[in-house]
Each structure stands twice: as C-alpha cells, then as structure tokens.
Structure 1
Amino acid sequence: MTDAQADLMRPAAAAEPRPFDAVLTDLDGVIRFYDMSGLTELERAAGLPEGATAEIAFAPETDLPLMLGRIGKDEWVAAIAEGLAVRRGLDAARGRELGLALAESGFWADQTVVDLLRRARAHVPVSIVTNATPWLDEDLARLGLTSLVDDVVGSAALGLAKPDRRIYELAAERLGAAVTRCLFVDDREENVAAATALGMRGVLYRGPDDLRAALAPLFG
C-alpha cells in the first residue's frame, strides 16, 4: 500500500469545536463613542459642571422612556430641559440648548473593534444588542456600520431594554443560536451579569484588548 493510499484510509481529523456560536455586542461604550466637547463648552458658559446635562439626561426617569421607544427626541430634550430647570435653575431656552447639544453630539466608531467584529463574523453570526434611541438605524448608517453585523436588536424598536432577559433570549433566537452558546460583550456590569445568569459567556468591556482576548479562541 502506498503512503497516499494509507492517507485516504485514515479517518479525517475531527474539526475543533467552536468556543461559541454567536457574538452579541453592545454599541455605545464598545463600538461607538461620543464627542461631548461642544456640550462641555455650553455647560461651562452656563456655570454648570461638566457632565451635569448627562446626569439628568441618562437618569432612568428621563432616559428609559426614550430607550423603550415611548418618546422621541423632542420629548427627551424637553425632559432634559425640565430637569435642568428644577435641579440647576436654568431657564427653559438654555436648558433646551444643552439638551439638544447632548442629543445631537457627534460620534465615531472604534475601528479596532469594528475590525475584530468583522473577523468574528467570518466564523459566527454577530449581532448588536443595544439600549438605543428610535433613530438607531440612522446612526448606524452615519457610522457606516449598516453591513457590519447580521442583526441589530435595538431596545426602542422592541420596547425591551437590557438587562431584561427577554432581549437577550430574542437576540440569540434571531441568530439561530442557543443562549448558552453566545458570547456577550457590554461595558455595563448589570448587563453582563444578566447575560451570564442566562448561561452566556460574558465579557465586561473596558477596551479592545478585552474583546480581542474573548475572540482569540474563535480565531485560533
């Protein structure tokens, strides 16, 4: 028997199992980051400390209705202005100016993270799972990320927000993956904790190296 014939008779080597079958990733704080410099200048001019507007804008009572799709941008800006009036004594016009500056802040995508997710998508499906505004699709188009992932699960479109377990389960189902076979990446501890409670592999994101390390078994 020749060596070539012997090779044909040997059983094929079993493929290495994938470490997970899908990647679910947050958007803000992982892929997208904001430029708040314009807002900071307006706060300084108004005699406010940096971050005063965001503190009100992202408080649950102001932010959650937007994330669940119950209000739009105008209503959100109005709620921010009202909060600034009550807590900081600002007049309505100045409060609206600050609210609008926050709502329309510029943003960019971290290209290192984008490249890592593109590499991951060559192996498994990838989804963005985000607590996001009703204009999420427009933002993704501005970022040039419309074709980055296989699916986008936005809270405003569903009326569900992380850490509600249903949004994780739906995201996995839409990718055709078992919940326990998903890698979940987020920069908020409560969101990662909810994912791991369902059996997902959770990654608390603090920088690109966290994502790179989590994806290494998939690439290797």
Structure 2
Amino acid sequence: MTSTVRPFDAVLTDLDGVIRLFDHSELNRLERAAGLPAGHTMRTAFHPDLRGPLLLGQLGKAEWQARIAERLAAESVTTPEPTTAPESATTPEPATPAELAAAFTSAPFRADPTVVSLLRAVREHVPVVVVTNATAWLDADLAAMEQLTGVADAVVNSAEVGAVKPEERIYRIAAERAQVAPERCLFVDDTAGNVAAARALGMTGVDYREPADLRNALAHLLN
C-alpha cells in the first residue's frame, strides 16, 4: 500500500540563486576591461562592513552603491597601462568605481520559470514561504517580476525581520508564517551553511544547485 503521509507540510525557499537569477554580464565585461578578477565588485559589495547593515535594512540602495564605489576607490581600482597600439586605435576609458558599483547594483534579474512552475504546483498542496537575506527595496524588486505573483504565501525578508540566515530566528519566523512546525518544513537554499542551520532545527534541507534538485525534493507531492 502506498503511504499518503506527507514528507513535509510547508516549503521554505531561498530567493536569490533559486528563484531569482541575476545577469552580471555587463559587470563582468567592465571588470575584465579594468583588469579585475571576476566577482571583485560583488565581493566588495558584500564586505562584512556593508553586508550586515544592508541585510538588516539599514542601507538604502543609493547609499549602498555609493559605499561600494568608495571602497573600490580606496582599493585603487585602476586599469593596467594599455599595451602599445597603433596611433589610430582608441582604447575605451576604464570603468570608474562609481560605474562598477552602478553596474552591480542595477544588474538585471529574472525569475527562473522552471522553479516558479514547481513552486506554483506545490503550493496547491502546502504553503510556500520565501526566506531571503535581502534588502529594504525587495518589495519593489518582487513587484517587477510579474511571474512571481501568487507563487508564495509569504516572504520573510531579513531586512524587515531583523534576522539573517543562518540565524535561528529567521527560520522560526518563516515556519510560523507557514503555520507549520520547523521539523515539518522543507528548506531549499543554494548556500550550504543556510541549509545546515535549517537541518539543525529539524527541517528537511535541500542543497540547491539546479531545478532538478527542487523537482526531486517535491516529487512525493507532485507525482
């Protein structure tokens, strides 16, 4: 006889890296032109001095962008001297710290349609709650992604609740929003430390790498 007992009663899912995907191709181009390693601007943007205030809602977007630029400038972000080229050749001016910061903070993003489809389907069976370390302007970002309308029952944003993954409190808040005990939650995240913290509370954890990971975790309810 096939069991009809659910393996979990709610899905708690990360946003960035799972549902929302950023396009940093323009930033990558600017970094290459500046002779910077890929991801340099992002690492600067999430330096502990900036990351904490940002994810607790203490930095607005303009201030964050300005502080990224200041930090990049302090690191002496410059382009190596160009190699000798014909006099007729022109070399574009390297991006300034302010331009790098703007390219990062204004990078376009989209929702992964496969993940959205899976979450819509599972929401017909159990509550879905987004649990994200995000910014004070997250609501505006979500509103810009019309595909996400009706995907989740609630959004738990670190900038609003004052707790950041992997702190225990944000997981408990998410479980409360789902009206489910922590041990009856499935937790999906692309950061191993966040998943480990969820498992420590008794949640079923999914180390997310691709939509197939989510599909497999939801198979019991969707098949």
TM-score, normalised with respect to structure 1: 0.89
Q: Does residue 185 of structure 2 align to residue 197 of structure 1?
A: no
**Distance in 2 of aligned mates of 1:14 and 1:206:** 30
Q: Deviations over 1:132-160 (max 9, x none)?
A: 11111111111111321100001111121
Residue of structure 2 equivalent to 1:33: 21
Higher relative helix content: 1
CA contact (8 A) 1:84 1:90 kept: no
**Distance in 2 of aligned mates of 1:162 and 1:146:** 24
- Equivalent of 2:135, from 133, 136, 143? 133
Pairing 1:46-125 to 2, within 5 Å after superposition? 46-90=34-78, 94-125=96-127
**Which consecutive unaligned segments of at least 5 residues does structure 2 have?**
80-94
Among the aligned pairs, what percent are the same residue?
A: 58
Q: Does residue 7 of structure 2 align to residue 19 of structure 1?
A: yes
Amino acid of the residue matched to residue 58 of structure 2?
R
Residue of structure 2 equivalent to 1:187: 190
CA contact (8 A) 1:129 1:152 kept: yes
Amino acid of the residue matched to residue 139 of structure 1?
D
TM-score, normalised with respect to structure 2: 0.87
Over the residues paired in the alignment, what is the CA RMSD in angstroms?
A: 1.9
Q: How far 1:81 sits from its partner (Å)?
A: 1.1
**Distance in 1 of aligned mates of 2:76 and 2:112:** 34
**Which consecutive unaligned segments of at least 5 residues does structure 1 have?**
1-12
Please identify the structure whose Cα radius of gyration is greater.
Answer: 1
Q: How far 1:50 sits from its partner (Å)?
A: 2.2
Residue of structure 2 equivalent to 1:3: none
CA contact (8 A) 2:32 2:38 kept: yes
Q: How far 1:14 sits from its partner (Å)?
A: 10
Task: Number of aligned residue pairs: give it.
Answer: 207
- Equivalent of 2:172, from 169, 173, 198? 169
CA contact (8 A) 2:120 2:150 kept: no
